[in-house]
Structure 1
Amino acid sequence: MDTVYQLTVSPDFTPDHISGWYIFNTWLQRNLGLHIHLEMYDSFEAQRAAIRADRVDLIYANPFDASMLVREKGFRAVARPLGIADECVIAVPADSPVQHVEDLTPGVRVVSTDDPDIHLVGMIMLEPADLNKTNVQAVTADGYVLVAKALLKGEADVGFFLKDAWDGLSKVVRKQLRPLVVSQISDIQHAFLVGPRLMDSAEEIQDLLVRMGGLEKGSGVLEALGFQGWEAVDHEETEFMIDLMDTLKAE
């Protein structure tokens, strides 16, 4: 019986790309000649539990979890999407009197998802207002659409969005919100990682992803994912991003 490998995707992907990941998984199986099962988790904690239990072999991971995957679980980052960085948008309702981050005051209600890197970057961006986890009211939403809804319903004063998710909101919703600031870190990105059980295929998987746009049906799969393409990632670039995330966590 064929070995079944598991692919999973960071839970912060935009909902309109769910079908794209299933199409990607089918394409990947055909090109690698492997039996790969795509498992979607509805939270970062559920996904981390699967990683700790060694149930994950391939993962499109957020940068926050890269440290555990690489340094504790022996994964290797092989590729990242072209031109997509994990930037954070801090937004308020369009009619909010707040014009700048510095206008925010202690006790402000901050809504975010459980997306760890965006929450981390967002909190760092609130520091000019002397805000931190001890003097804000944290509100958690299950997705970025619900972050927007919490702001529109008056259940929160300010919200954190992954820029890709912000750009994916409908024009009607975005018209009712106003961005205060957008991060410009650029070195924090999601990446595609290969686990120990498939390490012998890491080079093949990297080559396949990098050439994806020129392969049969590859460009259509990229379009379904909302990607322009993939670029190769080497060990030094991975370590730099992990060190940067560790530095941000320590602040």
Structure 2
Amino acid sequence: MTINFLIAPDFSPEFYAGWHFLNTRLQRLIDAPVHLFMATNAEEQWKAIDNDTVDIIYANPFDAAKLMRELGYLPVVHPVNRFDEMVISSSAESEIKSLHDIKPGMSVLCTENYDVKLIALRLLEAVDIEEKDLIWISSESFSAVARRLIQGEGDIGLFMSSAYYKLTSLTRSRLNLLIESKINDLYHVVLLHPRHASMLETLQQAFSTMHETVAGEMLLEDIGLSDGFSILENEEVELLIDLIETLRD
């Protein structure tokens, strides 16, 4: 039986090929056929989940909390030294130089990444700005957020930190970094559908030891996770879920 492995839609396009190479390696390590599915947006991801066609998923922490709590997905591993932080930025030509310059009625360029938006809203609480105070403009990617921000189509933009620092130096020189989150406890995770509980240890072993070979190190570098994966312990799961609930409150 083929195992379906879904990658969250917030992966950087430059890692597309890398995930496919890693998937080839994973099939050898677990001795089972694995079909990789790269979701293009959140709607596509949740459609696959609702259709019960997802066996393994690399999910953002907010989706992961729901999958574990409501659907019983099992924790497998998480990336080592790779946290999900976000950046709020404005155009370098804008008069917005700090969070205190953000006022009700201003527009925000953002992607479908709910986790990025939620963290941003918590940061904006410091200047008494709520979701209803702003105009939200959806963009298809973080590079589009940057482009439209520079072109003056929005007042501020929201980015995953990893995506922000992947922008070219020229692009970043035309932006103001207003604030970057420093939570250090949020990260993407690999989860396993409970119907495959019998392969949990095998999967944990495959991911967590992948960095121990030269070939594995190269594959991990090709998806931006050079330090590899670590087994996700129950205590870490509880901390992650508690943090998500705190951010949502």
Which TM class, normalised by the smaller chain length? over 0.9
Structure 1 moving runs of 4+ over 4 Å: none
- The alpha carbon displacement at 1:117 in A equals 0.7
SS in 2 for 1:83: coil
1:167 aligns with 2:162: no
- Work out the CA distance in 1 between the residues paired with 2:123 and 2:69: 28
- The alpha carbon displacement at 1:129 in A equals 2.4
- Work out the CA distance in 2 between the residues paired with 1:225 and 1:196: 26
- Work out the CA distance in 1 between the residues paired with 2:246 and 2:52: 27
- Work out the CA distance in 1 between the residues paired with 2:88 and 2:74: 32
| Structure 2 equivalent of residue 53 of structure 1 | 51
- Identity level (%): 35
| Structure 2 equivalent of residue 136 of structure 1 | 134
CA-to-aligned-CA distance 1:118-156 (integer Å, 9 cap, x gap) = 110011111222211211000111111011011011111
User: Which amino acid counterpart does residue 5 of structure 2 have in structure 1?
Assistant: L
Gaps of 5+ in 2: none
- Work out the CA distance in 2 between the residues paired with 1:127 and 1:104: 11
- The alpha carbon displacement at 1:226 in A equals 1.1
| Structure 2 equivalent of residue 244 of structure 1 | 243
- Work out the CA distance in 1 between the residues paired with 2:195 and 2:80: 26
- Work out the CA distance in 2 between the residues paired with 1:52 and 1:245: 22
Q: Give the alignment's TM-score, normalised by structure 2.
A: 0.96
Contact 2:97 2:176 in 1 (8 A): no
- The alpha carbon displacement at 1:234 in A equals 0.7
Q: Give the alignment's TM-score, normalised by structure 1.
A: 0.95
CA-to-aligned-CA distance 1:6-25 (integer Å, 9 cap, x gap) = 10111111111111111111
- The alpha carbon displacement at 1:45 in A equals 2.0
Match runs of 1:21-170 below 5 Å: 21-170=19-168
User: Which amino acid counterpart does residue 74 of structure 1 have in structure 2?
Assistant: G
- The alpha carbon displacement at 1:173 in A equals 0.8
| Structure 2 equivalent of residue 232 of structure 1 | 231
> What count of residue pairs does the alignment treat as equivalent?
248
- Work out the CA distance in 1 between the residues paired with 2:5 and 2:222: 17
Compare 201-210 and 213-222 and name the one that shifted more. Answer: 213-222
1:11 aligns with 2:29: no
Gaps of 5+ in 1: none
SS in 1 for 2:143: helix
- The alpha carbon displacement at 1:216 in A equals 6.0
